[in-house]
Chain A
Amino acid sequence: QQQVKQSPQSLIVQKGGISIINCAYENTAFDYFPWYQQFPGKGPALLIAIRPDVSEKKEGRFTISFNKSAKQFSLHIMDSQPGDSATYFCAASVRNAGNMLTFGGGTRLMVKP
């Protein structure tokens, strides 16, 4: 049973637009929610992460919105650029429980010039 569900599977956005990727989780013990960016043939790179004590975190063009009651969190990429074209994974983990990450299924983002 997949504990973190990610949508959409693929996304096409025009340059300058907003890319929005959503994730929903089931395990209420999760206390760390990172987003990873992965380019073809490369390992994932941490983009931004949030803990459940805040509802939003912004770093540059990337924003995480977190809704604890709905058990959902999302990634917003403002002013999307062709260089943002990659696969994005949300994940969740429980601190002090092995730190194992549970990954979402991934979203392939294509930003058209």
Chain B
Amino acid sequence: GAVVSQHPSRVICKSGTSVKIECRSLDFQATTMFWYRQFPKQSLMLMATSNEGSKATYEQGVEKDKFLINHASLTLSTLTVTSAHPEDSSFYICSASLGEGYNEQFFGPGTRLTVL
């Protein structure tokens, strides 16, 4: 159990376009979902935390108008990178949690974004 999927697994886009990444919990209801960014050979950097039905909480330094997060249901969260630029190229990973009282986070397989 506790499977999290992401779609797409990789995307290549032109500079200035917007890209949407989906994160789904397949066999459980995720009250809380997290979005991370990972650069090559580096650790995971938390971008934002989203709870179903409420606005996402962004980490310091993450532009909320650039990285739009929607958590419309207990099984789906989306991250939209608006007006993407080459510096946004990275590995984006989501995770899902059952919510308060549950420590465990279950990670998706990641999405490789390349902006040309």
A-side interface residues toward B, CB under 8 Å? 31-32, 34, 36, 41-46, 49, 89, 93, 95-96, 98-101, 103-106, 108
Contacts and interface: CB of A to CB of B under 8 A. Distances in A.
Interface residues of B, number: 27
A99 B106 contact: no
A96 B112 contact: no
A31 B99 CA distance: 15
Contacts of A44: 44, 93, 107
Contacts of A41: 91, 110, 112
A91 B98 CA distance: 18
B34 A43 contact: no
Contacts of A103: 43-44
Contact of B49 (A32, A45, A89, A100): A100
A69 to B, nearest CB: 22
A91 B108 CA distance: 17
A101 B105 contact: yes
A93 B103 contact: yes
Given A89-B44, A101-B46, A42 B100 contact: no
Contacts of A36: 107
B61 interface: no
Nearest to B97: A99
A25 to B, nearest CB: 14
Given A32-B103, A99-B102, A101-B46, A43 B108 contact: yes
Given A49-B104, A89-B43, A95-B102, 11 more contacts: A36-B107, A42-B109, A42-B110, A43-B93, A89-B44, A99-B32, A99-B100, A100-B46, A101-B46, A104-B43, A106-B42
Contacts of B100: 95-96, 99
